[in-house]
Structure 1
Amino acid sequence: MLALAPDSSSAKAAQKLARPAGWPTLARDGDVLWGECQGSGAHPYLVGVDARSAEIASKCSCPSRKFPCKHALGLLLLHTAGSGEWTRTAPPPDLTKWLGGRLSRAEKAAQVSEQGPGDEPADPAAQARAQQKAQAARDRKRSAGLEDLELWLSDLVREGLQAARTRPYADWDRQAARLVDAQLGGAARLVRQIPELLHEEGGEALTAHLGKLWLLTQGWRSRDALPDAERADLLTALGTPLDRAGLPPASPGVWRSLGSVHEEEGKLTVRRTWLLGGAPEPGGEEALALLLDFAPTGQALPTPLALGHPFTAAVAYAPSAYAQRAVVQGEIVGGDVPPHPDDLFMPGGTLGGLQAHYAAALARNPWLERIGAFVGPAYLNLDPPQLCDAAGHAVPLHPGVENSELWHMIAHAETRMQTYFGEWDGVSFVPLSLEPAAPPASAGAGA
């Protein structure tokens, strides 16, 4: 949603407005969102968002000339986070008239087009041309932003690592702001991460990180020649929001949560939840899926899934050359019954093959930041914090893993080797859950 902001100041203002206390009315009518935002005046602003197509458009009674304005962005952030009390109510006459005038057009920056009762419906060909024109305008904006990024990266590398270490933080923030203005929120996020890598002695992590940014500029140049899945990965890395409504319907399957990770990212709380299950893939392995939830800092995320409890749901994967991100379509059935002990088996994996698995994933999507991985039989070591196996392999644990969590897992393992599931980013492992290693297939139990 923040990637839709016309500039960085609008994004910051919207985050401040994304609090239910400032909205006396929050309502939804299908894919139309509307509400009333209390400003400094006596009467609240009437805000409407038309999300009936991929091209999101908005209308607000405030005097701002930006589209979308900060109030519309705040409304979108509240809905995405599931914050506040939402009712299913038709919009008031002013918004109904605006929605009727749009006639299903989804042009994000569309002006109000009033239509009388006797007017004929808009020509579908004209709608298609308008959408193509809006897309071309966005592409030109992104092309200019990525050309600027390419020049900036060239200067950064030419000056050298030592010069980069002396730059004030405002330099990185200024470049990130320019990318936000160009609707390249994903690239802006990567730029903001650079200062964290500047003081690493060898410079390998910084070099790899700058390589991801450079690859964005080159991938954009050849985007029309990329296969659909690889082009989807490129657009995701640039910051294009996932079109949930555009995903093909998925068949229901049985899934269970393998654990989740919470992180603070700017003014957002992010939760990553990993699922195992669904329809078996060729070779007998079950599918692994990653759900993402977001909420403004200080606000609650949706209710988490119970760890290990099976549930039935249709889980659709986002288009990608390395399918991992997914969304739940429709309702979740079950999830409140503990699993049977015989079902508590996870697919196997070795520490020795962990990096090769990650390299194969990066070969398909070079902008991946982490993968879900199964490792076992293995055991946890606290000094130093590592995950080890009987063959003598070991990988470091992520510094953010709390000792209390490790002690809990060690107590659960009861000195026995276990299969661990967690996140691997090529450097460190975040253990999320553990289960007994799966028995041989001849024993009648599978992953």
Structure 2
Amino acid sequence: MPLTLTPEAVAALAPDPASLKAGQKLTAPGKWPVLAHDGDVVWGEAQGSGAHPYLVAADLRTPDIATKCSCPSRKFPCKHALGLLLLHASGAGDWKALAVPEELSRWLEGRQARAEKPKTEPKEADAAQQTKTWAKREKKMGAGLEALELWLADLVREGILAARGRSYGEWDGQAARMVDAQLPGVARLIRQIPDLLHEEDGQALTAHLGRLYLLVRAWQGRDNLSENERADLLTALGMPLDRAGLTRSDTDDWLVAGSVTEEEGRLTVRRTWLLGGGGEVALLLDFAPQNQPLGAGHPPLHRLSGALSYARSAFAQRAVLEGALDGGPSALPARASALADLSRQWAQALALNPWLERVGVLLGPVHFAPGQVCDAQGQAAALHPSAPNLWHLRALADTEPAYVFGEWDGVTFLPLTVTPQSEATP
């Protein structure tokens, strides 16, 4: 099914705000000597600073949007591709029905061939070798966590003031030792510590160190954990997703409730949140090395149908979606949590998985105030400092209450999508 694009959906594809701003500057049709479509492929020629225009295309035949441009940019999509998509989404410009040039035709044929290539089942690894490999890694992880316990004890004994005096190199060095112990999840948590040192009361730092210490104690008692609890522990330590432990969801119809892309160390991470018809929440994660493109994402407030499976967890949230088909634009449902319920829901989630960093929640009806999201009952929650496009979200909710989907970390709320109350689906 071809994809229906909106300007907001295109904006969500931008690799960073600078690329989106540059793409918006290219939405004047006069900057495009050629604007054309060939079925569900849109393409054009963008006039750059050189003598010859850049050849730009976007494949909209599936929800897995892909773009190609002859410019030298290493960003995907580049500003020219974003400009082309924004023009297409807004219906601006004089679009002609023209066959794609040969260069683009080869690119499209390659995409089609890869999509049709049958998947081969991986050969079953030798069970004895797997057991030996895991035993070796388990020993290394255990030694790393023993060293972490001593380091945490020294850190707490010296106090916050002493911690503030440490150089960044000391924190980075300790994180590197955790990487050597094959504990990348622990290394990531250690690298977050310097950002918490400036807070005077030290509450956030204390809670963060508590989660690290809980990893040590949980590892020591891992034989007493349930399968789901053990899976959460291994995930927090940095083990990759166990696809063998996926559990198929009964729901095949989903709404893309929002997404956010962040830099985490040397990785670019995209979190995409889905809402099921019964209020189910699912989280899709995509990763790419820095300066490398992420795969095409799903536009927000679009319906998807596909086979979704949850990763093993005591608090099922992360999931894998396969065979997704676009069902067109939609809106947030009018079935939401109240602000008064946030603390209780967060406590229940942490009781199941104490290493959760955020949950996806649908709130409403609410409105925005400076630095807060509020409701008619007088409840309020602080907005996350990096709340994106807040002016746009406020504009949507200024004239009437709205339903808002976003991420809640127990302290702040990061809004991702907004639907005015009058437009929400039943």
| Structure 1 and Structure 2 fold alike (TM over 0.5) | yes
SS in 2 for 1:423: strand
Q: Deviations over 1:18-41 (max 9, x none)?
A: xxxxxxxxxxxxxxxxxxxxxxxx
Aligned equivalents of 2:291, 2:324: Cα separation in 1? 26
Alignment CA distance shift 1:409-1:326 (3 Å): same
Matches within 5 A, 1:215-364: 215-244=214-243, 246-250=245-249, 253-277=252-276, 285-329=278-322, 331-335=323-327, 337-339=328-330, 344-364=332-352
- 1:413 matched to which residue of 2? 397
Aligned equivalents of 2:250, 2:160: Cα separation in 1? 50
Contact 2:257 2:332 (C-alpha < 8 Å) held by counterparts: no
Aligned equivalents of 2:422, 2:137: Cα separation in 1? 50
Whether 2:410 is the aligned partner of 1:426: answer yes
Aligned equivalents of 1:248, 1:377: Cα separation in 2? 33
Alignment CA distance shift 1:87-1:265 (3 Å): farther
Aligned equivalents of 2:131, 2:367: Cα separation in 1? 55
Contact 2:247 2:311 (C-alpha < 8 Å) held by counterparts: no
- 1:399 matched to which residue of 2? 385
Identity %: 54
Q: Deviations over 1:267-312 (max 9, x none)?
A: 21111110011xx6xxxx3311011111122222222212222121
Structure 2: which amino acid aligns with 1:432? Answer: L
Matches within 5 A, 1:352-391: 352-382=340-370, 385-391=371-377
Q: Deviations over 1:321-376 (max 9, x none)?
A: 111111113x11224x223xxx6424211111111111111111000001111221
Contact 1:274 1:289 (C-alpha < 8 Å) held by counterparts: yes
Structure 2: which amino acid aligns with 1:208? Answer: A
Matches within 5 A, 1:4-19: none
1:249 CA displacement: 4.7
1:210 CA displacement: 0.3
Q: Give unmatched runs, 5+ long, in structure 1.
A: 1-83, 89-102, 107-126
Alignment CA distance shift 1:170-1:85 (3 Å): farther
Whether 2:153 is the aligned partner of 1:169: answer no
Contact 2:336 2:364 (C-alpha < 8 Å) held by counterparts: yes
Aligned equivalents of 1:246, 1:319: Cα separation in 2? 6
SS in 1 for 2:228: helix
Alignment CA distance shift 1:411-1:295 (3 Å): same
Aligned equivalents of 1:398, 1:344: Cα separation in 2? 21
Structure 2: which amino acid aligns with 1:333? Answer: L
Contact 2:365 2:375 (C-alpha < 8 Å) held by counterparts: yes
Aligned equivalents of 2:156, 2:355: Cα separation in 1? 20
Q: Deviations over 1:196-248 (max 9, x none)?
A: 11111000000000000000000001111101111000000000000235524
Aligned equivalents of 1:400, 1:313: Cα separation in 2? 31
Contact 1:194 1:206 (C-alpha < 8 Å) held by counterparts: yes
Contact 1:348 1:438 (C-alpha < 8 Å) held by counterparts: no
Aligned equivalents of 1:252, 1:295: Cα separation in 2? 28
Alignment CA distance shift 1:138-1:346 (3 Å): farther
- 2:147 matched to which residue of 1? 148
Structure 2: which amino acid aligns with 1:240? Answer: M
Aligned equivalents of 1:215, 1:86: Cα separation in 2? 48
Aligned Cα root-mean-square deviation (Å): 2.4
1:429 CA displacement: 0.7
Alignment CA distance shift 1:381-1:151 (3 Å): same
Aligned equivalents of 1:155, 1:179: Cα separation in 2? 17
1:436 CA displacement: 4.3
Whether 2:197 is the aligned partner of 1:205: answer no
Structure 1: which amino acid aligns with 2:354? Answer: P
Alignment CA distance shift 1:379-1:243 (3 Å): same
TM-score, normalised to structure 1's length? 0.65
Contact 1:346 1:438 (C-alpha < 8 Å) held by counterparts: no
SS in 2 for 1:144: helix
Q: Deviations over 1:45-86 (max 9, x none)?
A: xxxxxxxxxxxxxxxxxxxxxxxxxxxxxxxxxxxxxxx999
Alignment CA distance shift 1:381-1:324 (3 Å): same
- 2:186 matched to which residue of 1? 187
Larger RCO (CA within 8 A; separation ≥ 6) = 2
Aligned equivalents of 1:150, 1:298: Cα separation in 2? 35
Q: Give unmatched runs, 5+ long, in structure 2.
A: 1-109, 115-121
Structure 1: which amino acid aligns with 2:419? Answer: E
Alignment CA distance shift 1:308-1:439 (3 Å): closer
1:262 CA displacement: 1.1
1:437 CA displacement: 4.6
Aligned equivalents of 2:337, 2:289: Cα separation in 1? 36
TM-score, normalised to structure 2's length? 0.68
Q: Deviations over 1:112-159 (max 9, x none)?
A: xxxxxxxxxxxxxxx433322221111111110000000110111111
SS in 1 for 2:147: helix
